[in-house]
Structure formats: C-alpha cells, structure tokens
Chain A
Amino acid sequence: MKHALGEFEEIVLLLVAAQHDQAYGLSITKAIEEKLDRSVTMSSVHTALYRLEEKGFVQSRVGGATSERGGRRKRFFVITALGKSALTESKEARNQLWNMIPEFVLKNI
C-alpha cells in the first residue's frame, strides 16, 4: 500500500474531512466520543493529528483570536490532496475486500 494509514488515524482523517475547515483537536475528540461511542483522550487525538500533518495528509492553520478559552487561538486542520487520495485508496481497498465476500455469507447473518 502506498499510503500507510492506521485505523485510528483513518478515523481522525475522516473527521477532519467531514468537519471541513472547522476541525480542531477538541472538536474531533468530541465527535469520536459522540458518533462512534468510543472513549478517547484528547492527547491521542492531537498526537494523531500531528502525525498526519508530518505525513502530509492534513495541513494546519491557526485561527483568529477567540473570546472563550482565555482568548487562545485554535489550530484548525484541513485535509490535503494527499490525504484525500490516501482516504480514497483506503476506501477502495476496503471495497475491494467487501466485494470479495460471497453474497450468501452476508445474507445468513
């Protein structure tokens, strides 16, 4: 596979794409907790984001001053073209695997 993407990284990257231009550490943490019902620490989300940034899948920019959180700015993340292709690639790989499953196997569930 051209772009190595871990399971957790993939989730984070999907959410960055979903919350386009409004994704930051805490929002993604909350989304994971709410949408996936999965307990996650903020630091691991941040770590994943920085790792993705290193790999070039996301880009970050610092937003404007806020009135909450002591006036501290937010670091927003946006998915890059490379990130998109990594997501697509990963999705296609999965689809390919899905397609390999004989139909009766799923029907019997």
Chain B
Amino acid sequence: MRKTFHPVPPKWADRFFKWYCCERLCETILGDLHENYLEKIEKQGPLKARLDYWIDVLRFINRHTLKREKKTNRYHSNNSAMIRNYLLITVRNLVRNKSYASINIFGLAVGLASCLIIFFYVRMELSFDQFHENQEQIYRVTNTFERSSGSIFWARTPPALAPGIRNNISGIEKVTRLRYADDHTYSVGDRIFNQGNVFYADSVFLRIFDFKLISGDRSTALNNPNAIVITEDMATKYFGSEDPMGKVITFDNDRSLLVTGILEPLPSNSHITFDMLISFETFRVPDGYLADLNSWSWAGFHTYALLSPHADPNSINDQIVALYNANINRANIKTITELQPLRSIYLGSGKYTNVGESIRNGNRSTIYGLSVVAILILVIAGFNFMNLSTALSLGRGKEIGIRKVLGAAKGKIVLQFLVESVVVCFMSLLVAFMLIFFSRSYFREQLGVELPALSEYIFLVPLLVGATFIIGILSGSYPSAILSGFSPIAALRGNLKTGKTGAAFRSGLMVFQFVISLMLIAGSIVIVSQMDFVRNKYLGFDKENILQIKVLREDMARHYTSLKNRFEQHSQVINVAMSNHSFDGGSSSGPANLAGAREDQAYQLAYYQTDHDFLDLTGIELVEGRFFSKDFPSDSTAMILNETAVGLMGLEQPVGTKINFTRAERSVIGVVKDFHFNSLHTDIAPMAIVMPFTNTELMLVKVAPGNISETLSLLESDWKSIVGASPFDVTFLEDGIQQMYEQEQKLASLINLFSALAVILACLGLYGLVTFSVQSKLKEVGIRKVLGASLRGLLLVLSRQFVILILLANMVAWPLIYYLGNLWLGNFAYRINLQWWIYVASGLALLVIALVTISHQTVKAALTNPVKVLRNE
C-alpha cells in the first residue's frame, strides 16, 4: 500500500484517551477514532477535524471505557493504611521516649523560631524606604571632604546647594532641603508643648516622598510661609478630637503656624522620622548664626533630589561637584559630593558623620551577622535532630527486623523514617510558633525588635511548610539510611552495632556543631569586650556625674546666669557650663581661614560653643596656652584648637595665631589635647572651641558622686522657681554617649541570646551522641569493670572521644574566629585586639559545658552492674 503523509490527530487527546480508557477497548476505539479523523480531515479541514476529535474523545468517557481497578490483576499496595501505620508508630515512639522526644522537638523548635525571628528582623531592616513610589529615582546629596590624612563624609550639606542644583543642573525633577528644627515650644490655646522631631521642609518635599496625607493637598500644603503639616498623633495631642485643618499652632510665642495637612502615621521603616513638617520659608536663621541661607559652608541641611527617570546619577553628580567647587574652595581639601540612592541610605550610611537628628541609620554588618547566625542555628538544630533521631531509633532494631522479615523493602523503611522525621519537624514548627508568640514582648521590650503579629505569618505558611518539609527530609535522611541498612537477623537479635563510617560521620557533624558554638561563644566575648572597651575607654574627658539639661534658646538667654549662680550654691554641684553639644555625635562646623589667606582657602573645623568652666567641668587636658577666663573680656573673640586642628593647619606656634572663624577674627589662646567628641567609629576631627555667640541649648552640670536623685530634686526646684513652666529635661551625659553605640548594643544582646541558644542546642545533640555511644559500649564497660577498672578510668575511657572532638573543633574554629573577629572590629577606629585568652576561654567554656552534659550518661554507664549487661552473652 502506498504510504502517504497523514496528519496526526491531537497528541494530547490521544494521551488523555489512553489514560482513562481500559486496556481491552483502547486500541480498537482509538483505531476507529483515527480512521474517522483521517476521513474528516479531507472533507472538513484539519481544524474542524481536530475539534471533533477532542469532542469524540471526551464523549467516549462512559462506564464501558473507563479503567476499573478491580478487573486488573496487578497488586496495588494500600498506601494510606501504611502511612497511617507509620504515623501511629511515630506517635507511639515519641510517647515512649518522652524526654528524648521533647528534647528533639524543642531543640528543632528553638532553631526554627530563632531563624524566623531573625528573618523578620532582617526583612524589616531591608525594607527601609521602599514604600516611596519614586524610590528608584530619589537620592540624598552628601558631601565628602578629602584631605591628605583621610576623608570626612558628611551627610548634611549647605543650604545653598539645593537651590543651586535646581537652577543649574538639568536631569533633576525636584530637589528639597530638610532642616531639623531644634526644640521649640508649640502651643494651642493654653496647652504648651516643648517639641522636637520637627523638620523644615521645602514645598516639594511631600511631592518627592510618599508620606500619605489624611487631609490637605500634598502639592500645596508646604507652599506658603507659616504652614505646618502634622501627623495624626500630633493632631490628637494638640487638638484632641477637633479637626485641626485650618487651625493655628503658636510657635515660640511669637508666630502663628497654620495647619495645612494631616499625615498618616509614618511607616516604621522610614529613615526620616518626624512629627511635624514646617514649610521651609518659615525657617529663620537663629540669632547669632553667622551663616545665612546662601551659605555654601554651613552643612546643616539635608538635600534630597528626585532625578528624571532616565537621568544618569554619575554625570549629574559630576555637575554638582563642579557647582560646589565653583562656589567654595577650601585649602588642602577637595570637596566632592555623592548621590546616595534612597534605598541604601538606611543601611549604607555607616561612614557618614554629621547625620543630624531624627535620621535613623541601620547597620549592614548587623544584618549579615544575624543572617549568618540564623543559618548556623538552623544547621546546628538540624544536625542535632539527626543525631538524636539516630540515637532514638537504636532501640527499634526489633521493629525494623520484623518489618523486614514481613517483606518491607529497604525503600519502605527509608520512607518510614522520613515520614517520622517530617512529622516531628511539623510538631517543632507548631512549637516554634508558640515560642515566637510568647517571646514577642521580650523582643520588643528588651531588644527593640518588633515581631509581626501571628496573622502576618499567613503568607509565609507555604514557604514554612515547604522549608519544614525539606528540613525533615534532610535530617531524616541519615538515620533512615543507617537504620534501613541493618540485616534483619542482626536487627532481630537486638544487636545494633553501627559501622565505623557511621561513627565518623556523626563525629564530623558534632565537630561542625562545636565549631559553630565556639565561634558564637567567642563572638559574644569579642562583642562584649569591645562594648566594655568603648564604655570604659578614656575619651579625653570625664563623662561621669555630668548632667545635661536641655534649655530652650530663649530661656537660656534670659535665665542662664541666675540658673548657674543658683546651682553653684549647692555643695553637690561642682561646676556649671553651657554648651551647644555634648559629645554624643552632634557638632557644628564652619570654615576657618588663617589671617591673610585667601577667602576661598578654608579649613573645615567642627566647633563647640562653651563658656569658662567647661574645661574644669569636663577635665579636658590643656596642652598649650590657657582656656577662656573671666579676666580676659576679649575672650569672646578668642578660640581654642584641638591638636588635630593644629596639625591640619600646620601651625608652628598656635597660640597667638589669628584665624577668621565664624565671622570673626579670632586669636588662638590655647590648644587642648584631642578628645572624642564623636563616636569611636570615627577618627577625631579637627575642632575649635569658642565662646557662645548664639544661645546654646545645653547646660552641663557636674555634680558630686552619690545621692544623685537628691541633687536632681534640688536642681529641679531651682529650675521651677527661675524658669517656671518649661519642662526640666535632664539626662546623663554618659547615656547620650552610650546611645551612639545603640546598634552594637542591640547586636550584642541578640548575638548573646542566640549564641546561648546555639550552645544549648549543640549540647542537646552531644547528649544524644553520648547516649548512642555509651549504649554501644556497655559491654565493654562491663568487662572492664569485671577486670577491675576504676570509676575514674571508666569515665576517662567514655569521655576521651568527646574531649578529642572538642579539641579538634577548637583547631578549626580559631582561624575562623580570628578572621571574623577582625572583620567586625574593623568597624571601629578604636578597638580591642583579639587576645589569646578569648580563644582559650571559649574553648574551655565549651569543654566544661560538654563534660557536664555527657557526665550524666557516662556516670550512669560506669555505675551499671556488669552482671546486667554481660548476662546475655
């Protein structure tokens, strides 16, 4: 017969038909279908034929054609009954070994919970500022001053930068300034509040950033002078239940601000935080400030730019640098700017100083560190689980033997143990949820970590179930492989000796766990010692027993002298000084010109404004010359430099040098030894100390040690009688300094917590392994006893193996500790060194904990009556 090309009927229809049709009719019906199809294709075309083919295939589904299981002769296993049996046996085994089972489930649950908690923390930290619609195009403009000795990165920029960018540079859609408004009084009727956390913002601020408004128009709310936008919370605070829109808030008793918008509560993952926004045109340079809004040297403003969709940030940055340098030029300093993408501001600002108030910064290495810890803990928990499950299953030789004799293939026994492992994993998941639920308040209050409500886990359920399933399979794979390999005869005799390879594998797991534990223990020690070092390092001044009182500028102007006199009458008060900053990272700065130098050749100096008693109060050491003195009225135009500044400017004889600084020609009268006015993350910057030329906001009070609370109440009553209504806002200088290390403190407490957990988990695993090995050595112990071994000798024999494992783990862990420790300590300009005792201490700690753990089993084994273990032979 002539072969012709026949178009083939729809393949999937054929497959479907073969799938449902019983064997007896399949071939003949399919033949009819094909024959019909070939005829139809000629008469009606392929499309109709194919469609009809599908319809026919579907029509053929009926009781004659469908497959019927009964009619086939093949044996079908009853899987559901088998799995039900597996579950039953699992539960029975868990119930029989309650203590083991709970250790196992709890251990894995702790691992899962830690992992989840860290996951949520990390997710929160990574989600910062992602809620702005244009976040891809928003950049913060920062500036860097490059000196030969190093670079200083400043997050805040001068006020003239934003208008300069707007007027001169294309490719930028909008640019806004943000200026932190220091504490001021705000009042509505007779309700007066002293309020910080407020920014002055350009009118486009709300069009660049998506902070949602409940009422008011985002495009016009900040357009006019004296406009204020407040959050919902502030609306309640100031106006109660009234509608604040269009109402007036009185600012510092002399200006009226019109409420033009109400903001939704700010998302918790915004790096800019504020309670109120005041239109930028409202901002007045405070009295006594030497710069105005055209300044290119007053770095006190945040500049944010919204770039056009296809603009190239690099070329725009080059233009901004050119613009900057056209307006200001500093001697020996190269000024460059950097466009910092919005999404990297929160985590990527570690190198910046001069960050300003109400701006939050995170720490990327904290996040990486915690993620690694999370994975390590999960690995430890998984390994534990493996070790414990294997140990737990050893008593089940008879069961496995019987199953094998009754025909269970190796695969079925593997399946059984995998099912058990998965079931236990899911129990752990439930326990983990309970742990998270009960630890929420602890994390919120102690560690400042907000865990989401349980309802928010719903979207994670598929992921969690999947992950738990995989953990179950992975950690069940080893015990199941070991146990399914037993020969039925050996198993039935209850003679479960595991081979040498198995022991090596388990020891390997154990060493790995020990290494991780050692690293975490050493990590905790390093972090705690570094924090201690930071806390106790002499910063160049005495920070103890100094109170700082926040004073409103106008109160300072009016009441400072009388407050100082009154305070100093108390015997507990040693000194009183005013200052604009207090060693907690904040500082002002300005350009300094050596007399006779060109206008544009300036050094950037940070400066403190303080008065006469500052040096005595803080104990800062004077190297040359003298400090401000009441005997020299001309000291109001004097200045004092630190050693770094002297070095930077290359002054041979600093005392007597004339320097133009903060709009006055000042003569240097003294040099102080360098002190840490910034955090220890950064080097000491060049700085100057001048007499106050503005009203500062801080009073520093040095008090005698002991009975601080009494002193505080004395000061407060003085304050009330002199200043009156304004709140008495007092803090300890030390606390302010401590706050600069908040991130590290948080990391320290998290790492401490999780390394404790990891050590506990590793010990649980160790306990399992010890039980396992002691059980298999019982006969050896019996024989040794019969032959006269002492208790001490037996303990040695039983523990030796584990001591060796721990020593091995130490060998592996030490280089890792060295590397990672130095990596973290690299974040600090002033840091401890990794000393030998850190390694030894962590090793010893682990050894002691491990020996205590195994002693329970080894002592029990060593005390067993040899008759009991030997009589079977």
Q: Real complex partners, A and B? A: yes
Binding site for B on A (CB under 8 A): 24-26, 29, 41-44, 46-47, 50-51, 62, 66-70, 72-75
As a 0/1 sequence over residues 28 to 72 of chain B, the CB contacts with chain A under 8 angstroms (1 = contact) are: 111111111010000000000000000010011010100000000
A42 and B33 contacting across the interface, CB-CB below 8 Å: yes
As a 0/1 sequence over residues 401 to 440 of chain B, the CB contacts with chain A under 8 angstroms (1 = contact) are: 0000000000000000000000000000000000000000
Complex interface: chain A residues within 8 A of B29 (CB): 25, 46
Closest Cβ–Cβ distance, residue B856 to chain A (whole Å): 74
Partner of B56, one of A42, A66, A67: A42
Complex interface: chain B residues within 8 A of A67 (CB): 1
Complex interface: chain B residues within 8 A of A50 (CB): 25, 64
> Is B136 located at the chain interface by the 8 A CB criterion?
no
A43 and B59 contacting across the interface, CB-CB below 8 Å: yes
Given A43-B56, A46-B60, A67-B1: A26 touches B32 (CB 8 Å cut-off)? yes
Expressed in whole angstroms, the Cα–Cα distance for A51 and B25 within the complex equals 13
Residue of chain B at shortest CB distance from A43: B59
A73 and B31 contacting across the interface, CB-CB below 8 Å: yes
Expressed in whole angstroms, the Cα–Cα distance for A72 and B29 within the complex equals 9
> Is B182 located at the chain interface by the 8 A CB criterion?
no
Tally the A-B contacts, defined by beta carbons under 8 Å.
57
B28 and A66 contacting across the interface, CB-CB below 8 Å: no
Binding site for A on B (CB under 8 A): 1, 25, 27-36, 38, 56, 59-60, 62, 64
Expressed in whole angstroms, the Cα–Cα distance for A66 and B30 within the complex equals 13
Closest Cβ–Cβ distance, residue B87 to chain A (whole Å): 43
B56 and A73 contacting across the interface, CB-CB below 8 Å: no
Given A25-B28, A62-B28, A73-B28: A42 touches B62 (CB 8 Å cut-off)? no
Beyond contacts A51-B64, A75-B28: 13 other A-B pairs, Cβ-Cβ < 8 A, are A24-B32, A25-B29, A25-B32, A29-B36, A42-B36, A42-B56, A46-B32, A47-B62, A50-B25, A70-B34, A73-B27, A73-B28, A74-B32
Question: Which of A47, A51, A67 has the most CB atoms of chain B within a 10 A radius of its CB?
Answer: A47
Expressed in whole angstroms, the Cα–Cα distance for A66 and B29 within the complex equals 14
Residue of chain B at shortest CB distance from A49: B64
Partner of A74, one of B28, B38, B56, B62: B28
Residue of chain B at shortest CB distance from A75: B28
B35 and A26 contacting across the interface, CB-CB below 8 Å: yes
Expressed in whole angstroms, the Cα–Cα distance for A75 and B27 within the complex equals 9
A41 and B28 contacting across the interface, CB-CB below 8 Å: no
Complex interface: chain B residues within 8 A of A43 (CB): 56, 59-60, 62
B30 and A72 contacting across the interface, CB-CB below 8 Å: yes
A72 and B34 contacting across the interface, CB-CB below 8 Å: yes
Partner of B59, one of A41, A66, A74: A41
A41 and B56 contacting across the interface, CB-CB below 8 Å: yes
Given A26-B35, A43-B62: A72 touches B27 (CB 8 Å cut-off)? yes
Complex interface: chain B residues within 8 A of A66 (CB): 31
Complex interface: chain A residues within 8 A of B25 (CB): 50, 75
Question: Ordered nearest first, which 6 A-B pairs have the shortest CB separation?
Answer: A72-B31, A75-B28, A43-B59, A50-B64, A69-B31, A69-B35
Expressed in whole angstroms, the Cα–Cα distance for A44 and B55 within the complex equals 13
Complex interface: chain B residues within 8 A of A73 (CB): 27-28, 31
Residue of chain A at shortest CB distance from B28: A75
Complex interface: chain A residues within 8 A of B59 (CB): 41-44
27 contacts between A and B (CB under 8 A): A24-B32, A25-B29, A25-B32, A26-B35, A26-B36, A41-B56, A42-B32, A42-B36, A43-B56, A46-B32, A46-B64, A50-B25, A51-B64, A62-B27, A66-B31, A67-B1, A68-B35, A69-B31, A70-B30, A70-B34, A72-B27, A72-B31, A73-B27, A73-B28, A74-B32, A75-B25, A75-B28
Residue of chain A at shortest CB distance from B61: A43
Complex interface: chain B residues within 8 A of A72 (CB): 27-28, 30-31, 34
Complex interface: chain A residues within 8 A of B30 (CB): 70, 72
Complex interface: chain B residues within 8 A of A25 (CB): 28-29, 32
Closest Cβ–Cβ distance, residue B800 to chain A (whole Å): 75
Residue of chain B at shortest CB distance from A54: B64
Expressed in whole angstroms, the Cα–Cα distance for A29 and B33 within the complex equals 12
Residue of chain A at shortest CB distance from B3: A67
Complex interface: chain A residues within 8 A of B38 (CB): 68-69
Closest Cβ–Cβ distance, residue B490 to chain A (whole Å): 54
Closest Cβ–Cβ distance, residue A77 to chain B (whole Å): 11
Expressed in whole angstroms, the Cα–Cα distance for A25 and B30 within the complex equals 11
Question: Which of A42, A43, A66, A74 has the most CB atoms of chain B within a 10 A radius of its CB?
Answer: A43
Complex interface: chain A residues within 8 A of B60 (CB): 43, 46
Expressed in whole angstroms, the Cα–Cα distance for A73 and B1 within the complex equals 17
Closest Cβ–Cβ distance, residue A72 to chain B (whole Å): 3
Expressed in whole angstroms, the Cα–Cα distance for A24 and B30 within the complex equals 13
Expressed in whole angstroms, the Cα–Cα distance for A74 and B81 within the complex equals 42
Complex interface: chain A residues within 8 A of B33 (CB): 42
Partner of A70, one of B1, B31, B62: B31
